[in-house]
Amino acid sequence: MGDQLDFYKLSYLWKGCDHLMGFKEFVDIRRTVLLTWMDIESRDYVLDRKAIGSLGENVGYSSGANDELAILRKTCVLSEESLWNPSLSSISLLLAENVEPGYCLLKYISGPVFSEDLYDAINDSGVYFSSYKVIRKFLDLTPTNARSEGPFIVVNGQRITGALPVLGWPRVAKKWTKRDRKRCWPGTETLDKVIRDGCHCVPVGAPKSVTKHLEWQLSFSVAECTLVHSMDHSFFKLYQILKILVHERLNKMEDCGKIVSSYMIKTLMFWMCENKLPNFICAGNLKESIGECLTQLEEWIRENFIPHYFIPERNLFERNFRPLEKAKVLERLSVLKSDILKELLRCPFFKAVETEVTAEPPQSVDSLNITSDDMKTRCDFFFFECIGNTFCNGIRWPEAIRILQNFENAFAYDSQSDLQLSTSKQMYFKVANAAGKIAYRVMKNSFSNKRKYELLHLSEKFLKIGCSADVTSGKLSLASLYFCLEKNEKCLNVTDAVLRDILPSTVYVRGFENMSYNSSRRNHYQELASSEHISLSQKMKRYCLTDIEIIQSTSLWPAVIDLEIETFPRETRLIKMPALVYLYLLRFLCFEIQGDEILKMEALSELSAIAYDDEHNDGSFLAYDVIGICHERVGNYSQAVEMFGKASKEAKILDWINENMNPGLLRIGIVLNKRFREMRQRNYL
């Protein structure tokens, strides 16, 4: 009976992992979005950027910073001297001379020199590229808060290491390509890709070597991401469960935190996938599979030797551990093995399912099932959430131009899947939108009419092209640009175009990060779009209307909004405002400038209707305030106060707004003072 109960609990936990870590479809989307962005962003750049570690593997649980390789394009390390050929004569060439397993010296052969102070001579052996000096140089080029950590430069939560590509598979890892494997993992296709992509040299030497300052480590980080991506989803879930269990129930325990690293857990998973685990992981064998992995880890710790996956002669333990330290870790591993389910449920990560897993009688796992139609909708929503997390805010003008050209080349020449194409279109919109804003700021500060015209033309082009994949955001940015340039007729034409595209059945969303948690919106979207066999970007254009983002001191927004934003602290985040509210605000202001009272009141009437329609407004305090501002401008003080009262009510539920900067209360005070002042003036007269 006890075993049966455990099986029910493990079944619920196993299914719950999909909801906590991401379904297979979510993982595929996350990987595609990240890989597409990093590929396009780094094309034609001096560095080829690769996400590695938990970020590159798309592991939902991460215990540290995001890791990234910055690979120098105009440099090459020869794994063997015989690989030299004339086509390499224009780049900087280095020859790898193996020292300790997994480490090498890089001897300069020919080609451009980075900087003479980065090289050292060893007697008559030649000139070598110094890993220590390279790290110091990287630190000099980064912000003052940066620090080195092994081969990485750590800055602002990001760990970046410069890497040199190695031509040819290194001799020290040749056995990996042909060794006997008890399981058919990795498969032939994965093996070929790993060998084709090769490895890299990163600037860190063997800890106890006398030439440590010159040595470089062979890094297989890109290959490791390929291996993780090749795992069946059940193995990928097991890998994440192992990471969570070891980090939260071993490393966080007293005196146990310095032995088992994330890299060691990954290495353990690779060895187990290759030799010991069953062909399929499920709730029925989950406990046994975790137990086998922990037993193998236990054996390695006893032996003080964890073999590197590609170079088994290299020991991942780089120091000898104190007897008491090792004893505590082994004791803790024994506790983990004795009751795996209990230890898993003590992990904070699994807190969300603990109640259901431990319920008596057991919860039905069917409650976690997702229908195929619902999964399609969730995947669409998850895709837009991932796109929403793409960072373009700090992008500079030359970068934006280069990346936009890379996207256009990809559209023209690359063979892309539907998901990659939708990803590229959405990212193109975000970069184009950012470029348009940059162009506008440059134009406002330019004294040359020709320069102003060129930048205006470019910004319009970017915004128009960018909005082709989105029904509102790009077009509303363009409308804002026209408004700020006092081109009111063009602004109105753009808003007219937006209104023509919006369908009566459009789904309104407050923000991408909350889309998949809004069941009513998700169901509405599912009814409309799930049966349509069209691209994600087309679904977005036809069915989904997103909020406009407003940030303090952004010159694209009308002054009436800037007034409101000034009440917030300078470090405020992006504020999301319902797009239709913003659209009718622009129309209201344009008609006011033109002196068209009828159309101005029509726009205000539409705003008032939106205020009472949760589907359009969704209780945004900023939306209520904007509507109140418009009522105030035409003298409808009672309606203005009503809107500001609603705004203050909504604002009070936000923990980052206090009584000193509550926009609703502030606006009410302004309106009431104005109202009473006018009454006093009338009485006086």
Q: CATH number of the domain that 635 lies in?
A: 1.25.40
- Nearest CA to 45 among 18, 72, 80, 11? 72
- Report the domain count for the chain: 3
- 198 and 257 in a single domain? The answer is no
Distance, in Å, from the CA atom of 297 to the CA atom of 305, rounded to the nearest integer, reads 10
Decide the pairing of beta strands 119-122 and 92-98. unpaired
Domain stop point among 197, 213, 230: 230
Residue 400: other Cβ atoms inside 10 A: 22
Residue 469's pLDDT is what? 44
Single out the residue of 289, 292, 288, 246 nearest to residue 266, CA to CA. Answer: 246
- Span 309-329, mean pLDDT? 91
Same domain, 359 and 237: yes
CATH number for the domain spanning 257: value is: 1.10.1410.40
Prior bond to 569 cis, omega within 30? Answer: no
Q: In terms of domains, do 116 and 171 share one?
A: yes
Distance CA(240)–CA(413), nearest Å, equals 37
DSSP result, 435-476: HHHHHHHHHHT---HHHHHHHHHHHHHHHHHHGGG-SSHHHH
Q: Is residue 124 part of a domain?
A: yes
Checking if the pLDDT of 214 tops 60, the result is: yes
Which residue, 185, 211, 230, sits at the end of a domain?
Answer: 230
Share of the chain above pLDDT 70, in %: 81
Comparing C-alpha atoms, which of 415, 250, 422 is closest to residue 346? 250
Q: Is 596 found in the same domain as 553?
A: yes
Q: Looking at the structure, do residues 4 and 57 belong to the same domain, yes or no?
A: no
pLDDT, tens digit, for every residue of 93-104? 999 999 999 999
Q: Are residues 182 and 241 in the same domain?
A: no
59: left (phi over 0), alpha (psi -120 to 50) or beta: beta
**What's the chain's Rg over C-alpha atoms?**
30
**pLDDT of 168 above 50:** yes
The single residue listed with the structure tokens 């690779």 is 270
Do 222 and 263 have their domain in common? no
Structure tokens that stand for 468 in this block: 């082709």
C-alpha dihedral sign at 579, 582, 584, 587 = negative
Pick the closest to residue 32 from 348, 424, 393 (CA basis): 424
- Domain assignment present for residue 356? The answer is yes
Residue 354 tokens read as 């603990």
Is 332 found in the same domain as 298? yes
Structure confidence by residue, pLDDT tens digits, 389-445: 666 656 777 788 788 888 888 888 888 888 888 888 778 777 776 666 666 666 666
Looking at the fold, whether 118 and 266 belong to one and the same domain comes out as no
Q: 597 to each of 495, 610, 636, how far by Cα in Å?
A: 18, 20, 14
pLDDT tens figures, 111-133: 998 888 999 998 878 999 999 99
Taking the C-alpha atoms of residue 673 and residue 675, their distance in angstroms, rounded to an integer, is 5
Q: Which of 230, 250, 276 is the last residue of a domain?
A: 230
**Signed CA dihedral, 676, 682, 683, 685: sign only:** positive
Same domain, yes or no, for 69 and 159? Answer: yes
Would you state the pLDDT for residue 461?
56
Checking if the pLDDT of 558 tops 60, the result is: no
432 inside domain: no
Residue 129 bridge partners (DSSP): 119
CB 392 within 8 A of CB 432: no
Tell me what pLDDT residue 513 has: 55
Over residues 270-288, the pLDDT tens digits come to: 999 999 999 899 999 999 9
Q: Give the HSE-up count for residue 619: Cα atoms under 13 Å, Cβ half-sphere.
A: 7
CA distance 592 to 16: 55
- Note whether residue 427 is domain-resident: no
Supply the pLDDT for residue 285.
94
The pair of three-digit structure tokens given for residue 76, joined into one six-digit string: 């090459």
pLDDT bracket for residue 564 (50, 70, 90): low
Q: Confirm whether 9 is domain-assigned.
A: yes
DSSP state of 617: H
Residue range 437-460: average pLDDT? Answer: 61
Higher pLDDT, 548 or 495: 495
Residue 188 lies in a domain: yes
Averaged pLDDT for residues 338-352: 93
Alpha carbon distances (Å) from 586 to 582, 596, 630: 6, 14, 11
CA distances from 506 to 25, 295, 518, 543, 581 (A): 25, 55, 15, 5, 15
436, part of any domain: no
DSSP conformation class of 218:
E
Cβ count within 10 A of residue 525: 23
Element (H, E) at 677: helix 663-684
Note whether residue 72 is domain-resident.
yes
| Pair 99, 159 in one domain | yes
The pLDDT value recorded for residue 615 is 66
Grouping H, G, I as helix, E, B as strand and the rest as coil, residue 555 is coil
Q: Which residue has the higher pLDDT, 666 or 461?
A: 666
Is pLDDT above 70 for 555? no
- Residue 612 in contact with residue 639, Cβ under 8 Å? no
How buried is residue 374: exposed, middle or buried, by Cβ count under 10 Å (0-12/13-18/19+)? middle
pLDDT tens digit sequence for 470-528: 545 567 767 777 777 778 998 899 889 888 877 777 776 655 555 556 677 777 777 77
145 burial via Cβ count (<10 Å: 0-12, 13-18, 19+):
exposed
Cβ within 8 Å of residue 95, ≥6 positions away = 77, 78, 81, 106, 107, 109
Query: Looking at the structure, do residues 82 and 184 belong to the same domain, yes or no?
Result: yes
Mean pLDDT, range 556-566, rounded to an integer: 54
Residues, the chain = 685
pLDDT band of 348, cuts 50, 70, 90: very high
pLDDT-derived band at 578 (thresholds 50, 70, 90) equals confident
Domain of 178, in residue numbers: 45-230
SS (HEC) of 77-140:
EECCHHHCCHHHCCCEEEEEEECCCCEEEEEEEECCCCCHHHEEEECCCEEEECHHHHHHHHHH
Q: Is the pLDDT of residue 361 over 90?
A: no
Residue of 685 and 439 predicted with greater confidence: 439
Q: Which two tokens stand for residue 579?
A: 């797009």
